């Protein structure tokens, strides 16, 4: 087999699951020294994919290749969503991995450095016991235990979920340090797409165990009900309907590219687009690479992502809280 | 009631003056029970780990048997070990009967289920994230076993203390297998039984005090180790 040196991970024909849940990924390649975000709702398969990528589990079908091989340890490490600290001091937690690898040269200095990377004062924390830490501090100690290993791939499952803002910033800086100073490949999952897009090069969306496109594409899950011949709809949480043409099956998930959404201040008439959803701008963030503004718009209890040029945003006088309409065609919805 | 007060006073005199017969029984008890607990921990901890950590056919049935053996009557163990090490028994040639080695064999048999069962329970109650944490930090094979046992060290210490308590306080094995031979196999419990039968309360009480003291020291040590973490 030839190894493509650009790819750290190569996944092919993956099938894995528990109970009725199945994760199915026909193909996925992850570039070396990239930072990849995994996004999707609860139960979409983010954590399962991370466990497969960290070789904590092996797929029932298909293969996960790391550097062309079917195992990745000790070059891969993973930080769980709710990490477990060993019942030892902070020093012993951070030093554990190096001790296990019998790599104990300058151990104390390396532990000190690892704690500094996660912004924990080593003098204050190094002798603390596992129960003498707050939730955010414990997560940072757990991250330091992984950072010290200098892995080729660092996987993080919801790294900033349920942590204080100070810890969140420290974790984000440590992740950036690992990528920039150590050239680690970073793979992380999060519900927070805005945070994810600020720290990763690329985002993969997961829905129902399938990859549902990349970037900030909008996912519209089923069930789909028939409105009339050739026109079906999915009900949003607060009652609005999203229309499409006949879906492949009633439970199918559709992808709506943010670029296919037109934003309007007024309800448009005499247009071919069947979908016109009232919404409220929630956040606006600059997409520096593309010179445009990314909007999170709440409509009928669901968040939609859309783009607009800076000039249009200025002309429309958009700001968080402004009411607008999202307009898109039935044919804009693609099936996964 | 005077005989009780007199018994207590004489008991303290025996202990303070270092009565050789009393201390011989104390030494034998501490010696055989300590060797028994060491052997039981060496054998029992890996077995407890296997019984709790791995899935295999018959696991539940084996666990049920081990749990049942927790309450094994000491005289039954004494009888069983006696049958094996008596001159006519399969292990008769090793001259274990009425020797400290025989008592150690019997006590090990008695407390091994305690160590296996309680250590298995301790490992079962560990956080399910521990295994994946150890693996993601680079632990393999033996490191996972030692790492897991270390995480459950407090519960295992409690299991060891319970097993030690059962060993030092048992009388059936020591009496039947050891033979209660003065200066040789007489333990605290067999001495108490004998001296009480003879109406010699002082030595019985003195030995009883020592037995309680050993139990107290073991528990105090446990609290100290817990505090140290």
B138·A97 Cβ contact <8 A: yes
pLDDT of residue A1: 47
Of residues B127, B133, B138, nearest to A73 (C-beta): B138
Q: Please tell me if residue B155 touches chain A, with a CB cutoff of 8 Å.
A: no
Please give the residue of chain B at the shortest CA–CA distance from A95.
B137
Spatial distance between the Cα atoms of A241 and B186, rounded to a whole number of angstroms: 88
Interior angle at CA A96, CA A94 and CA A99, nearest 5 = 125
Say if B139 is an interface residue toward chain A (CB within 8 Å).
yes
- Cis-peptide into A223, omega within 30 deg: yes
The values of phi and psi at residue A171, to 5°, are -65, -45
pLDDT single digits (tens) A111-121: 999 999 999 99
pLDDT tens by residue, A156-167: 999 988 888 899
Kindly report the nearest CA distance between residue B228 and chain A, in angstroms: 10
Does pLDDT of A3 surpass 70?
Answer: no
Structurally, what CATH architecture does the domain formed by B2-228 represent? Orthogonal Bundle (1.10)
- Successive 10-residue mean pLDDT values, chain B, 229 residues: 76 82 91 96 94 92 93 92 89 88 95 96 92 93 90 91 94 91 92 88 84 90 82
Please answer yes or no on whether A77 and B147 come within 8 Å at the CB atom. no
The pair phi, psi for residue A291, each rounded to 5°, is 60, 40
Q: Is the pLDDT assigned to residue A286 strictly greater than 80? A: no
Task: For residue A291, give the 3-state DSSP assignment.
Answer: coil
Chain B residues whose beta carbon lies within 8 Å of the beta carbon of residue A97 = 137-138
Q: Contact A31/A5 with Cβ under 8 angstroms?
A: no
Residue B147 and residue A86: Cβ atoms within 8 Å? Answer: yes
Nearest chain A Cα distance for residue B48, angstroms: 20
Q: Residues A14-23: what's their mean pLDDT?
A: 91
Are A296 and A258 in contact by the 8 Å Cβ rule? The answer is no
Q: What is the pLDDT of residue A197?
A: 76
CB contact under 8 A, B129 and A101: no
Of A73, A84, A100, the CB nearest to B130: A84
Model confidence, pTM: 0.75
User: What letters, b where the CB count within 10 A reaches 16 and e where it falls short, cover A273-292?
Assistant: bbbbbebebeebeeeeeeeb
Q: Do the strands A292-299 and A275-287 form a parallel or antiparallel pair, or are they unpaired? A: antiparallel
Candidates A81, A83, A100: best to mutate against B (most CBs of B within 10 A) is A100
Comparing CB atoms, the residue among A73, A84, A89 nearest residue B133 is A84
A15-19, A148-152, A207-211, B129-133: least confident range: A207-211
From start to end of B54-210, where are the E strands? none
Question: CA-to-CA distance for A5 and B29, rounded, in angstroms?
Answer: 68
In this model, does residue A274 exceed pLDDT 80? Answer: yes
CA distance B38 to B171: 20
Q: Is the peptide bond before A74 cis (omega within 30 degrees of 0)?
A: yes
Q: Quick one: average pLDDT of A29-34? A: 89
Give the minimum alpha-carbon distance from A223 to chain B in angstroms, rounded to a whole number. Answer: 35
What's the alpha-carbon Rg for chain B, to the nearest Å? 20
Mean pLDDT of chain A: 88
Mark yes or no for CB contact B136/A77 under 8 Å: yes
How far, in Å, CA of A202 to CA of A204, rounded? 7
Q: How many CB pairs under 8 A join A and B?
A: 50
Q: Which two tokens stand for residue A178?
A: 């690992």
Rounded CA gap, B114 and B164, in Å?
Answer: 10
User: In the block, which residue shows the tokens 């993956």?
Assistant: A14
Tell me the two tokens of residue A209: 């165990």
Instruction: Write the CB contacts of B20 (distance below 8 Å, at least 6 apart in sequence).
Output: none
* Residue B129 sits at the chain A interface (C-beta within 8 Å): yes
Query: A319 and A284 in contact (C-beta within 8 Å)?
Result: yes
Q: Which residues pair with A277 in a beta bridge?
A: A326
Residue A75 with chain B: CB contacts under 8 Å: none
Q: pLDDT digits over A211-263, tens only? A: 877 766 788 888 899 888 888 999 988 889 999 988 888 888 888 888 889 99
**Contacts of residue A250, Cβ cutoff 8 Å, sequence gap at least 6:** A222, A223, A224, A225
B135 has a chain A CB within 8 A of its CB: yes
Report domain extents, chain B.
2-228
- Alpha-carbon gap: A254 to the closest alpha carbon of chain B (Å): 35
Q: What is the DSSP letter of A160?
A: T
Residue listed under structure tokens 């040590």: B221
Rounded CA-CA distance B40/B109 in Å is 8
- Out of B139, B151, B153, closest to residue A100 by CB: B139
Tokens of B186: 């007489």
């Amino acid at each position: 087999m030839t190894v493509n040196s650009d790819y750290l991970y190569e996944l092919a024909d993956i099938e894995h699951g528990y109970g009725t849940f199945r994760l199915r990924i026909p193909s996925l390649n992850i570039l070396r020294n990239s930072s990849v975000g995994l996004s999707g709702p609860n139960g979409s398969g983010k954590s399962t994919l991370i466990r497969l990528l960290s070789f904590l589990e092996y797929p029932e079908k298909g293969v996960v290749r790391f550097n062309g091989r079917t195992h990745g340890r000790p070059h891969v490490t993973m930080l769980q969503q709710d990490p477990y600290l060993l019942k030892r001091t902070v020093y012993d937690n951070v030093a554990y991995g190096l001790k296990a690898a019998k790599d104990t040269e300058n151990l104390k200095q390396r532990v000190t450095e690892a704690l500094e990377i996660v912004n924990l004062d080593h003098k204050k924390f190094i002798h603390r016991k596992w129960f003498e830490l707050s939730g955010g501090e414990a997560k940072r100690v757990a991250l330091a235990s992984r950072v010290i290993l200098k892995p080729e791939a660092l996987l993080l499952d919801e790294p900033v979920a349920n942590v204080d803002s100070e810890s969140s910033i420290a974790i984000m800086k440590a992740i950036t340090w690992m990528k920039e100073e150590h050239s680690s490949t970073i793979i992380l999952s999060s519900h927070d797409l805005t945070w994810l897009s600020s720290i990763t090069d690329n985002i993969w969306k997961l829905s129902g165990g399938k990859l549902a496109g990349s970037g900030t594409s909008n996912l519209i899950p089923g069930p789909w009900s028939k409105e009339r011949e050739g026109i079906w709809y999915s009900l949003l949480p607060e009652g609005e309907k999203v229309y499409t043409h006949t879906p492949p099956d009633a439970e199918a998930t559709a992808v709506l590219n943010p670029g296919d959404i037109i934003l309007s201040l007024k309800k448009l008439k005499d247009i071919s687009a069947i979908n016109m959803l009232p919404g409220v701008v929630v956040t606006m963030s600059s997409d520096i690479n593309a010179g445009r503004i990314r909007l999170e718009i709440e409509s009928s209890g669901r968040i939609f992502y859309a783009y607009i040029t800076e000039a249009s945003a200025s002309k429309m006088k958009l700001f968080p809280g402004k009411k607008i309409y999202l307009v898109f065609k039935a044919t804009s919805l693609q099936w996964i | 009631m005077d005989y009780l007060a007199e018994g207590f006073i004489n008991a303290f005199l025996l202990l303070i003056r270092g009565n050789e017969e009393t201390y011989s029984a104390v030494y034998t008890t501490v010696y055989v029970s300590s060797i028994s607990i060491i052997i039981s921990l060496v054998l029992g901890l890996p077995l407890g780990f296997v019984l709790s950590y791995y899935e295999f056919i018959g696991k539940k049935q084996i666990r049920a048997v081990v749990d049942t053996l927790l309450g094994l009557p000491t005289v039954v163990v004494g009888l069983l070990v006696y049958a094996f090490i008596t001159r006519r028994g399969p292990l008769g040639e090793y001259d274990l009967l009425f020797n400290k080695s025989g008592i150690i064999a019997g006590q090990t048999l008695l407390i091994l289920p305690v160590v296996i069962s309680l250590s298995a329970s301790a490992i079962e109650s560990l956080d399910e994230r521990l295994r994946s944490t150890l693996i993601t930090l680079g632990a393999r094979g033996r490191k996972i076993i030692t790492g897991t046992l270390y995480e459950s060290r407090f519960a295992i210490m409690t299991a060891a203390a319970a097993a030690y308590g059962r060993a030092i306080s048992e009388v059936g094995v020591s009496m039947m297998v050891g033979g209660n031979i003065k200066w040789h196999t007489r333990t605290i419990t067999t001495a108490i039984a004998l001296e009480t039968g003879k109406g010699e309360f002082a030595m019985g009480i003195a030995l009883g005090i020592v037995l309680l003291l050993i139990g107290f020291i073991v528990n105090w040590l446990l609290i100290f180790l817990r505090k140290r973490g």
